[in-house]
Chain A
Amino acid sequence: MLFMLSFIPIYIIGQTGGERTIAGVVLDAETSEPLIGVTVRSPKSGTGVTTDLNGKFVIKVLPNDSTLSFSYIGYSPKHVSVVGKSRLSILLSEIANSVGEVVVVGYGTQKKEDLTGAISVVDMKEVNKLSASTLSHALQGQVAGVDVTSFSGSPGSGITVRVRGIGTLNDSDPLFVVDGMMVGDINFLNTGDIESVQVLKDASATAIYGSRGANGVIIITTKKGNTGKATINLSAYYGVQNVWKSNNMCDGPTWGMLRNEMSAGLGGGTLIEDTRTLPTVDYFDAILHKDAPVKNADLSISGGNEKGTYFLSLNGFSQDGIIKKTTFDRVTLRANGDFKANSWLTVGENITLIRTNHKGGIENDEWTSPIMTTYTRDPITPIRNEDGSFTKSTFSDIWNPLATIEYNNPKNTAYRVLANIYGEINFLKNFKFRSAYSTEYTNNEFSSYIPVYYVFSAQQNPNVNSLTNYTYSTYVRQFTNTLTYDKKLKEHTFSAMLGCETYAVTYRKLQASAKDVPSNDPRVMHIDNARTKDNAAAAQGMTTESKQASGFARLNYNFLERYLLTANVRMDGSSKFVRGHRWGTFPSVSVGWRITEEPFMKKVKVLNNLKLRLGWGQIGNEGSVDAYSYATFASAGSNYLFGGTFAPGFSFNSTGNPELKWEKTTTTNIGLDFGFFNSKLSGTIEFFNKVTSDMLLRVPVPGQTGISEPPFQNAGKMRNRGLEISLQYKNYDHPVGYSVGANFTTIQNRVLSLGANNAYIEGASFMNTVHLTRTAVGKPIAQFYGLKTDGLFQNWDEVHAQTAQKNVAPGDVRYKLVNKENLFSSENYTYLGSPLPKFSYSVNGAVSYKGFDLSVALQGVYGNKIYNGPSTYTRSTQNLTYNYSRDMTKRWRGEGTQTDARYPRLGGLDANNSILQSDRYLEDGSYLRIKMVQLGYAVPAALTAKAGIKSARVYLNAQNLYTFTKYTGLDPEIGMKGGEDPLDIGVDRGYYPMPRLYSIGLNVTF
């Protein structure tokens, strides 16, 4: 890169007669990319030109001319002195909240200044700086009120997106809309193809999506071609990833020493005489894939003319995980086009084809996952025996993590097609009719093969290998028709939209398993080759379908561009309900006041934008209801036997509820947008109150009903209240330009009702025996629940001062007791903390000078607790067979040596001979992460032009560079179990940590 520095832009200067010529280039201050079509004017000379495709201009001015003005839509205008100058390099900076910016709002667009709902626009420049496997990953920290948490660092998987908190005990996933198509996830998208992302947060914005808007809507618009010469864009990066932290377990000698001490404490003798010579086997290190590569290459071609535009792209992405044998790769192919068929009709299409491959293993399992067993296995048993076979631990039945990785390799290949075609008719001057038909087909093919293997009796697959193939397909049809009418009558501006939509989705699954495939060769791994195929119970298949029909309308009105009103209403009918119960109406209304447009505000120069917004709306949660919930089903599996022969039986274990309806969410929103100093400083403050009522719950019914699975009822209620602040400051007026942005979100969750006779729900089962969380009326969701510790007993006086804890000695954990007689009394169990953060935040900053740019992004949460699952093993005081956390060297060793309940004496017997559920295992989960640091250099346009290149940028990037946290586990970013269990949040079961990534990238536009 250094050699490029030696080139300095040179501009050709010409002089003709009485006029002089000024030449130059206009670049974006932030990205250093050339700006095309900037108006360059000389007020004195009366001349004007626009910049060309490379941002260049040549203008003739009078000899005594002193200034040139540069103006460009969305950018701050600039007046530049040209006295004595004949070549110029002009940087224009973009205006935040710029006038005229258009925002996609669902079935249409709206000017940003006219918005009345809570809608955030994602800064795609920031998103594109990240080397992220999916768009969801890249959205983390980008928008206030949108909480993105990974629940696994495994490539290509594990992310949950929550807009304004967890709204329900059921499905809280937002609705994603890609180019007008409603889709369930966006992990298939190539971030390079995305033009814009907007998040509709409050009900007044999402009500247009009716029964599907309760959890927020994320609208994604993909790139389209522009009129003009073809643009070819090539971008690529390559990176390597590693863990950023080890699991901090004891080495052999330390383990042996602690174990001897524990044995002595338990009344036994010294177990290993000379511990100093013990070997150390670092299992954690052994499961890692070091310098795991991540690669991305993206090629797109776009262009068009007055008749039409096109956009074609091809993207390849592949990422190896930091744990062995976990990989993800994706190929995306996209094509779209718009064509003006005639004077009144425009047609277009949008086609995306994706193939993803995902290989994983056992994850987040408190017993057997490779990561968990690197914590628990003793550190002196070698990984393999001398003959190469995997070892059994000399001390325990803990699985050999390397063997687990070797023998468990589920694969998932998904093929996905999204296609839509549309036509748009403009008629009667102000009317526009648009009709779009979209379809999506996804086929997931899971495959898992377990060979015959033997590690030891508890880790083996004896006798026969097994092969399972599982296909899961989704077929979606969506037909949308909208009619829009725009009219301006003096001070009144109207826009009305009327639409209807049908949506149908068919899910189909088919599973087959077979045993005894002739060899482990991947080429023969097909069911046809299996020698045993008669296990009928292993075949599964099901087809389900759900449909929706909707009508909707919107009215936008503004008076004097100052007083704004938006009203939405949607009627949805759903096949999930029986006739008579299937229609719901979802209304919303919001108003806005652009205070800075008032005449009395015109004098206030510092404040250039101030808008107050108020909104209310009521929407539904479609995902909360399963199809066919109204019916009472017989289900298979109620088997018995007669005459020694298996008899398959059916039974009705639940009962349908024909009166079920959607969960309903009512949101009130107050927002304030502001811009100071010509919008150099801009921001938004937003308050919301969101109440989910009719929340679906399986309210327990008396056992005498004989119903084993209680039916769903619309019984619960939950509230989320919050405050969101986002601020931005930009200044690119000087050669050193910079910007700083920050987002802050705080949400208070409260369960208001769980139905009659239902005070709480237990969740997060851990080691099959205990529930770690309790969700109770009046409390936030999923609070940790258990015994509270009160430090350690320091001496015998303290031990004898109580009676509830039997057989304890100084150095043992002391509990805070309400019932001082019985330790296990339910009175002693209490709320221990929340897995939900008090607030979350992100900060990003960028500086640029000449072609260089440096960006930093920070992201963090504060005030949440994490249940450190591995520490239930690794801080054991009585287990002589597992490894210990290195932190146990801080154990209590005499009065006053340690007071932290996490580190009691070794050799203390737990009175119940089990792991007591207590705050001993809870830790502060707050963290601040340096999510990204990037240094880029844009090659000067003059130089690239010679090579026929419009612009070129190279960059060095680091992600997850460092994380500040007190959490002692591998990574403090721990989401919901499986991304979908809201009662199981922040429980570390040996989570797959987020990798630290270093990459180098290149972006070239021709």
Chain B
Amino acid sequence: MKRYLTYVLSFALLGFTSCEGFLDTDVPSIDQHTFFSGEQTAYSALVGIYDPAGWMEYIQFLDWAIGDVVSDDATKGGGGDSDQPQIYDLEHFRATPEMATLSTVWEQNYEGINRANRLIEGLKDNTAVKEDVRKRFIAEARFMRGYYYFCLIKVFGAVPIVDHILAPSEYKGPRNTLEQCWTFVENDFKAAMEGLPHKKAMPATELGRATWGAAAAFLTKAYIFQAKWKPAEAQAKAIVASGDYDLQPNYGDLFTIATDNGIESVFDIQLKDFKMTQWGDENEGSMLEIYQRSRDDRNGGWGFDQPTQSLYDEFEPGDIRREWTIIKNGDVLWQGTADEETIYTNYDPVHNPDAPRIGYCKRKGTLPKSQRPDMTDAASLNVRVIRFADVLLWQAEAAVHNNSDWQTPLNHVRARVGLGESPYKADPLKAVYHERRVELALESHRYWDLVRTGRGSLMEGYTDSKRYFPIPQKEINLNPNLKQNPY
């Protein structure tokens, strides 16, 4: 009988021996501990930081909705008031904390920030990655972190600064002051400039990655937004002096796929149709083209971001930039090519019942038929976030305030389109403001140009409390430490 007991006990023991070892299973994916073990994976994480910058909600939607439509340059357009009602509400200064787009933009920019923090923490003192590579990757991460904060500050003003991976106890930090936010952003761009290559030294395969010039330009922009005119002018001059950039000889070539990452591009958000037959944030393509193309069924777009008469009238006689910016009814584009197309922008009971009686469409970024994807894909064409003309006009604006030479950079911009001295040169500030409006029209700058220069009242319904948009209610519910904007 004893032997039975022995069998039984040994069987029973079998079950319990080294249970803990039995229960240890290998994680089949790459986790935070194993990820930054080499340059390859670190590079993958670096790519991941750029990813949210191309997503639809901000750069392909809210940026122009505020930058153009809320300003006096454009109206919403589209198919009636209820088509994209959020833009309609923004346009009429009726934004609410419940607006989904504000909530998404808040979340997505912080996702980008979190990804940057993840890389910075993963590479800090990490000898598994070569030092020069590490230095550049961290500089790129800091540049992108600065970029995402810049987007948040533009829309919401002061936001909570998150500069590391948060522990659960740190999830509910309050908003920092606006000054602290700007300092943080400036420091990120300054640090980025230290570790980033110049664009002209970069191989073509790397175009789109952060450069010294992009960081310097964002630093300038941060100064401009804060009216720090002295450092702004100095920084803009340094960019000009670097020789990294020049104006695209033909203004009309600026918004074509051919000039993506071109000589004038300081920082482009990269968007391209990879024929993935899908919409959404996974396709790397752009919705901007179909959003803005004429809604007339002969042109097949959705007809948003429609230029106003006020913008049309702002152009000086003979300024060719108007025709490269605004399409009038019946304009024939790409004449004489296989893509030749008549664009209809006026009301038509059959083809375009939603258009105004006399309407305009945005031309910048409208693509010829042969370059548009079919309805199953998003389009190609980068977004020019900062181009060299913008830098020159910052230099001019800062110089006006600093009483230094503002005409050289301004005339540089005008000369490209064959214009001489500004008709407003007696009023230098007016000359600069005019030039910015026409040169950078419908490139999502106007709203912020108006509010940062105290000209918000040009927009009907604007008051100073409307400068920053409401903090999403969802965020306040989740983090009661966030104080609402006075909107």
Contacts and interface: CB of A to CB of B under 8 A. Distances in A.
Interface stretch (B24-32, B182-190, B308-316): B24-32
A49 to B, nearest CB: 41
Contact of B284 (A457, A646, A705): A646
A543 B162 CA distance: 35
Interface in A234-290: none
Contacts of B39: none
Given A634-B35, A640-B50, A656-B31, A481 B14 contact: yes
A652 B118 contact: yes
B82 A913 contact: yes
A894 interface: no
Nearest to A627: B25
Given A425-B7, A544-B28, A644-B260, A705 B12 contact: no
A700 B479 CA distance: 11
A638 B115 contact: yes
B15 A502 contact: yes
B15 A640 contact: no
Interface in B105-129: 106-107, 110-115, 117-118
B485 interface: no
Contact of B166 (A573, A627, A705): A705
A962 interface: no
Contacts of B173: 704
B8 A634 contact: no
A637 B35 contact: no
A649 B1 contact: no
Interface stretch (B200-208, B338-346, B354-362, B432-440): B200-208
Nearest to A659: B168
Max count, chain B CB within 10 A of own CB: residue among A428, A648, A705, A913? A705
Contacts of B350: none
A641 B30 CA distance: 22
Nearest to B260: A644
B15 A549 contact: yes
Nearest to B375: A457
A706 B111 contact: yes
Interface stretch (B239-247, B328-336, B444-452, B470-478): B470-478
A650 B23 contact: no
24 contacts: A425-B4, A427-B5, A428-B1, A483-B8, A549-B22, A573-B20, A634-B30, A635-B29, A638-B47, A640-B48, A640-B50, A640-B53, A640-B284, A642-B208, A642-B270, A644-B260, A649-B49, A649-B51, A650-B30, A650-B35, A650-B44, A703-B110, A704-B159, A704-B475
B480 to A, nearest CB: 8
A643 B205 contact: yes
A548 B207 CA distance: 51
A632 B272 contact: no
B371 interface: no
Contacts of B159: 704
A708 interface: yes
A500 B12 contact: yes
Nearest to B107: A703
Interface in B85-144: 103, 106-107, 110-115, 117-118
B171 interface: yes
Classify chain B: how many residues form its interface, as a range: 35 or more
A701 interface: yes
A12 interface: no
B226 interface: no
A637 B284 CA distance: 11
B15 A481 contact: yes
A600 interface: no
Given A433-B8, A500-B16, A649-B45, A706 B284 contact: no
A642 B162 CA distance: 27
A547 B23 contact: yes
A534 B48 CA distance: 23
Given A500-B16, A579-B20, A656-B31, A702 B171 contact: yes
Given A546-B25, A551-B16, A573-B23, A651 B45 contact: yes
A319 B351 CA distance: 51
A641 B32 contact: no
Nearest to A637: B282
A498 to B, nearest CB: 8
Interface in B442-487: 472, 474-475, 477-479
A636 B35 CA distance: 12
Classify chain A: how many residues form its interface, as a range: 35 or more
B270 A641 contact: yes
Contact of B27 (A631, A641, A705, A706): A631
B428 interface: no
B303 to A, nearest CB: 17
Contacts of B24: 575, 579
Contacts of A342: none
Interface string B32-43: 100100000100
Given A547-B23, A631-B31, A646-B274, 11 more contacts: A427-B1, A627-B25, A631-B29, A639-B47, A641-B284, A644-B260, A644-B261, A648-B47, A649-B49, A652-B35, A708-B107
A582 interface: yes
Contacts of A645: 205
A171 B238 CA distance: 61
A573 B479 contact: no
Contact of B31 (A498, A632, A638): A632
B387 interface: no
Contacts of B472: 703
B19 interface: yes
A574 interface: yes
Interface in B144-194: 159-160, 162, 166, 171-173
B23 A757 contact: no
Contact of A706 (B20, B103, B113, B208): B113
Contacts of B172: 702
B209 interface: yes
A707 interface: yes
A695 B237 CA distance: 60
B46 interface: yes
3 smallest beta-carbon distances between A and B, as pairs: A706-B114, A649-B47, A500-B15
Contacts of A428: 1, 4-5
A677 interface: no
A267 to B, nearest CB: 14
A638 B48 contact: yes
A574 B23 CA distance: 6
A1003 interface: no
Given A639-B284, A704-B110, A704-B475, A433 B47 contact: no
Nearest to A631: B31
Given A651-B115, A704-B110, A705-B114, A757 B478 contact: yes
B47 A483 contact: no
A435 interface: yes
Nearest to B15: A500
A481 B45 contact: no
A489 interface: no
Nearest to B42: A650
Contacts of A385: none
Contacts of B48: 638, 640, 649-651
Contact of A650 (B45, B106, B117, B478): B45
B54 interface: yes
A638 B51 contact: yes
Nearest to A645: B205
Nearest to B26: A545
A560 interface: no
A641 B284 CA distance: 8
A481 B29 contact: no
Contacts of B46: 649
Contacts of A502: 15, 22
A829 interface: no
A159 B268 CA distance: 52
Nearest to A544: B28
Contacts of A579: 20, 24
Contacts of A483: 8, 12
Contact of B8 (A425, A652, A702, A708): A425
